[in-house]
A and B are shown apart, each in its own frame.
Chain A
């Protein structure tokens, strides 16, 4: 517990220094905050109902009335993008949270116990992390059924091996250190050692991984929904919006793809830059 408090306190006090050292990451935090605020306030600030169709005003180019134009049913693209931000962010956060908790649990257990189970897990995870996981996710959504919950589970499952690997290697690297052995000798239970001694130490690495993973999770979830998997029809989601807009691209209606696609890009970019910045901060040796 003390360990965690120390890291958190030093981070809070060093925020000004953080901005000077990592201007790009600070910018990414700024961008993400704006996106999150927009997503949270979506029902209040969106000018139109994201689901209400208004056929006489279909396919309007962006203007003062409709900032980002309207789609083929006359729905306001700006309102839909805000509503989609809520959905996309919650999908990414819940998927990453599930895989983080499950992966870190399994990884810590394997890394601390060692033995043949650990070796087999390690081998399988090594191969799985390099496997075409997007294909796996497609099949998973098909097996589990077409729903948002299953989209989240599929995204979580393909993130899962990365957390096992990282937790496992980090725990294994510390397992034989003096302070762990001291705790062991003085009768601390393995569960307590992992939770109280090892977990706080490997947490920073995992947070970096989670930040990079959030971008990847959004990319995967949007890719799946672009293919028509997971999201039921009228629900606004960035990938679905891009897929629908693609039909109107050949007649020059660029705004249907550019705005949701741009939001995807900016969000993924922010998560990646934040992850890179946090990693540099944690381990200046990897700084490029």
Chain B
């Protein structure tokens, strides 16, 4: 087997394999959105006809032009063709193409989700590591209780309570609406991530402003996923702590922090990284709730507004975007796993 020469370098082959494995699920999602667009009430041809009193003949002709009278499989092929060319339809509420709207709003959601993910990892990695190190102690029990508590607070409740405590009560946080004061000069848009854009432009007032607006929503989302991450870190660290090389490291008198971080945490990271993939998809769902509470101008609130006003093209675009993001994130995690432990990438 190993002597056999492959045309492609292993990394490319690996990426191809993973993407291929994700195809059936992606196909299911596309089929779902297609059925959704066809099942939903409202005939698009009637909508696009010149007026409410457009004649039956005119509507018939439009149906023909839009391909709505073709058999379902043909319509599905058309639909696939549109998707491949990046045509996600047009939003009735904003009047723009869905692809364009989402392009404008995606950075806001990504900035929120990635900050929240970083925050939750910053909290749960040390928490899980120390809980495992002193497992069975009072401290370990406290961490366990903390996780159970975090896990049962719905993000929409914790978000509102955080606003109440930090904004209304203590006056610490800024007005919890939106990303940045629109009356302030905006940093030039490069990545769309305000923290990065303003830092690149050297505009630290804007950076502070953006960071201040980000704290509460990011904390809300982080709280929701701390529990699975901490539990997984703890379990992974405990299984590593029994290994021979940890005993050897201890016997050789290495400093505790070195054993903890270099030998234990690094080896325990694999299952944690796998959990990050699952957690990321939970966060994409929680995004909808958090963006609604904080009037965050991201893709999720865009889709929700569209959903409420029966404008389905953005909803469909949002689901497809989530599916693609999800596949992409899992691909990245898979490749990272290969970097962490080269044995994974050997087939």
Contacts and interface: CB of A to CB of B under 8 A. Distances in A.
Tell me, yes or no, whether A binds B.
yes
Interface of A: 120, 123-124, 127-128, 130-136, 138-139, 142-143, 215, 219, 222-223, 226-229, 239, 242-243, 245-246, 249-250, 252, 254, 257-258, 261, 264-266, 268-269, 272-273, 288
A242 B322 CA distance: 27
A222 B152 CA distance: 12
A272 B36 contact: no
Nearest to B37: A143
Interface in B122-154: 144, 148-149, 151-154
B307 interface: yes
Given A142-B307, A142-B312, A227-B288, A130 B277 contact: yes
B281 A131 contact: yes
A242 B319 contact: no
A243 B156 contact: yes
B192 to A, nearest CB: 21
B161 A261 contact: yes
B216 interface: no
A250 B168 contact: yes
A254 B164 contact: yes
B28 A246 contact: no
Contact of A257 (B148, B160, B323): B160
14 contacts: A131-B29, A131-B323, A134-B285, A135-B288, A135-B319, A135-B322, A222-B154, A223-B289, A229-B307, A252-B168, A257-B161, A261-B161, A266-B152, A273-B148
B259 interface: no
Contact of A268 (B25, B152, B167, B289): B152
A249 B164 contact: yes
A25 to B, nearest CB: 12
B152 A127 contact: no
A124 B28 contact: yes
Contacts, number: 131
Given A227-B288, A227-B289, A272 B315 contact: no
Contacts of B32: 136, 139
Contact of A135 (B152, B277, B318, B330): B318
Contacts of B281: 130-133
Given A135-B285, A246-B160, A249-B163, A288 B153 contact: no
Contacts of A288: 144, 231, 234-235
A79 to B, nearest CB: 20
Given A139-B33, A227-B304, A268-B154, 18 more contacts: A124-B25, A131-B323, A132-B326, A134-B282, A135-B284, A135-B288, A135-B318, A136-B319, A139-B32, A226-B292, A243-B156, A249-B163, A249-B168, A252-B168, A257-B161, A257-B164, A264-B157, A288-B144
A134 B288 contact: yes
Nearest to A136: B319
A243 B22 CA distance: 36
Interface centre among A219, A245, A288 (most CB of B within 10 A): A288
Contacts of B157: 242, 257, 261, 264-265
Contact of B36 (A123, A132, A139, A243): A139
A176 B234 CA distance: 35
Contact of B21 (A123, A228, A266): A123
Contact of B156 (A127, A242, A266): A242
A224 B338 CA distance: 38
B156 A223 contact: yes
Residues of A contacting B: mostly: helix
Nearest to B327: A127
A246 B294 CA distance: 11
A242 B312 CA distance: 26
Contacts of A272: 148, 151-152
B156 A239 contact: yes
A14 to B, nearest CB: 25
B22 A127 contact: yes
A138 B326 contact: no
Contact of A138 (B148, B278, B288, B293): B288
B40 A228 contact: no
B39 interface: yes
Contacts of B152: 215, 265-266, 268-269, 272
A243 B34 CA distance: 31
Contacts of B29: 131
A132 B24 contact: no
B154 A261 contact: yes
Contact of B25 (A131, A142, A239, A246): A131
B3 interface: no
B25 A120 contact: no
Contact of A228 (B22, B308, B326): B308
Contacts of A239: 154, 156
Contacts of B318: 135
Contacts of A134: 282, 285-286, 288
Nearest to A215: B152
A104 to B, nearest CB: 21
- Residue among A130, A246, A252, A264 having the largest count of chain B Cβ atoms under 10 Å: A130
Contacts of B308: 228
A40 to B, nearest CB: 23
B284 to A, nearest CB: 4
A245 B289 CA distance: 15
Interface string B250-289: 0000000000000000000000000001100110111011
Which 5 pairs of residues, A with B, have the shortest CB-CB distance?
Answer: A134-B285, A127-B25, A261-B157, A269-B152, A268-B152
A127 B25 CA distance: 6
Given A142-B315, A227-B292, A264 B154 contact: yes
